Amino acid sequence: MILVLSNEMPDEERLELIKKMEEIGLRVHESQGERYRLLGLIGNTSTIDRNRLNAIRHIEKIIPVQESYKLANKAFHTKDSTIIDVKGNKIGGENIALIAGPCSVESEEQIVSIAKDIKKSGAKFLRGGAFKPRTSPYSFQGLGSEGLDLLKIAREETGLPIVSEIMSVRYIDEFAENVDIIQVGARNMQNFDLLKELGELKTPILLKRGLSSTIDELLMSAEYIMAGGNENVILCERGIRTFETQTRNTLDLSAIPVLKKHTHLPIIVDPSHAGGMWWLVEPLSKAAVAVGADGLIIEVHNDPENAKCDGQQSIVPERFDTLTKQLRKIAELDNRII
C-alpha cells in the first residue's frame, strides 16, 4: 500500500504515522517528490484501518499495490526511473550505458587491450568473468581471484569501472572490495542466500534474468536485494529458454517495455548470451536500444577463435566500434545518449 502525503504534513505528524505503521509490523519506505511524499508500506497491510487513514488530513491518497514486489515497483517511487551512478558513469534515465568485454578474463594483455579498444568506441564499463559458471566441470572455470586482479589493472589503465560475476556468498567481501558492479548470473538469479547478502552492500548489482524465469520472478529477485537495503539494482534480459533451437536463447524483447511499465529500475540487454552467435549481436543490440533498453552488455574479444569461453558469440573490437556508431543514431531518435 502507498500513502501519498502532502508536503504540508508536519514532520511530527508524519513520524507519528510511521511509528504507528511500524508498530503493527509494517516496514515503511519513504520517497520525497517535488509536490508530495510517498510512504510505501511493506508487509501485511490487511490489518490497517482504512477509515482511520482516510481521516488524516494530510494523506491525499491511499493506493493499494497488488504486486508482491514493492521496492522495485514503480508505484513506490516519485521518480519514473532510477539512475545508477558508478564513478560518474550513469545507467538509467536518458543514458544508454555500454558494457563490453570478454566472456572471461584470460591474461593481462588480453583484458587491457580489449579495455582500451572498447573505451575508444564509447563503452563506459568493462565486463570480464573471473569466476565462470560453466555447464561442464571440465571447461575453463575462469582465473578466479587472479582474474579480478587483471580486471583491476585494466581499470587502472583505462579508468573504466569493472563488472564481474559472483557465484558464491564465499566471495562477497572480495567482490565488494574490488568490483564496481557485481553481476549475478542467470543461474544464480534465485540464489536467495546470495541475493540477501548482496542486499547488505552498497555496490550496484547487475541481476540477470534466469534461464526460465518469468518477469515477475526477476522482479522478486531484485526485491530480495533491495529489501536488504541495496537499491542499486540493474536488471538484465539475456534471453530465455524456449522450444527454439536456432538461437542459444530467445531474446525476450517485450520484457523491456513490460519491465519499464512496472519498475523504476534500469534494464539492460545482453544480446551475446541471448543469440549465442556473433552475427546476431548487431541486430539484437539495435532492437534492444529501439525498444528502450537502458544499456547493453556485449561480449567483445580480440581473438574470438581462440577465446577460452564464448568465442562464437563474441564480436571483435572493430565490429563493436561500427556497432556503437549505428546505435548512437538509433538512440538519437529517442533523444537518448550513448
Residues that bind Mn ion (CB under 5 A): 103, 310
By DSSP bridging, strand 36-42 and strand 2-6 are antiparallel
The single-letter DSSP state of residue 155 is: H
Considering the rule CB under 6 A, would residue 273 count as an interface residue with ligand PEP? yes
Segment lying near ligand PEP (by CB under 6 A), choices 30-38, 92-100, 183-191, 196-204 = 183-191
Considering the rule CB under 6 A, would residue 159 count as an interface residue with ligand PEP? no
Angle at 303 between CA 297 and CA 309, to 5 degrees: 60
Considering the rule CB under 6 A, would residue 238 count as an interface residue with ligand PEP? yes
3-state secondary structure of 328: helix
Segment lying near ligand PEP (by CB under 6 A), choices 3-11, 58-66, 71-79, 180-188 = 180-188
The single-letter DSSP state of residue 186 is: G
Work out what residue 74 binds among ligand PEP, Mn ion, none; the CB cut-off runs from 5 to 8 Å by kind: none
Q: Contact, 103 vs 310, CB < 8 A? A: yes
Q: Which of 70, 208, 260, 308 binds ligand PEP (CB under 6 A)?
A: 208
Of the pair 1, 189, the CB lying nearest ligand PEP is at 189
Other CB atoms within 10 A of residue 17 CB: 19
Of the pair 117, 310, the CB lying nearest Mn ion is at 310
Which residues pair with residue 104 across a beta bridge?
129
Please, what is the minimum distance in Å from the beta carbon of residue 129 to Mn ion?
Answer: 7
Alpha helices in the chain (DSSP H): 11-23, 50-55, 108-121, 145-158, 172-178, 192-198, 215-227, 255-262, 271-275, 278-290, 317-333
Element (H, E) at 82: none
Q: Which of 38, 48, 91, 103 binds ligand PEP (CB under 6 A)?
A: 103
CA distance 288 to 323: 13
Please, what is the minimum distance in Å from the beta carbon of residue 310 to Mn ion?
Answer: 4
Cell of 146: 587472479
Question: Minimal CB distance to ligand PEP: which residue?
Answer: 185
Of the pair 71, 181, the CB lying nearest ligand PEP is at 181
Work out what residue 336 binds among Mn ion, ligand PEP, none; the CB cut-off runs from 5 to 8 Å by kind: none
* Residue ranges that bind ligand PEP, judged by CB under 6 A: 103, 129, 133, 165, 185-187, 208, 238, 270, 273
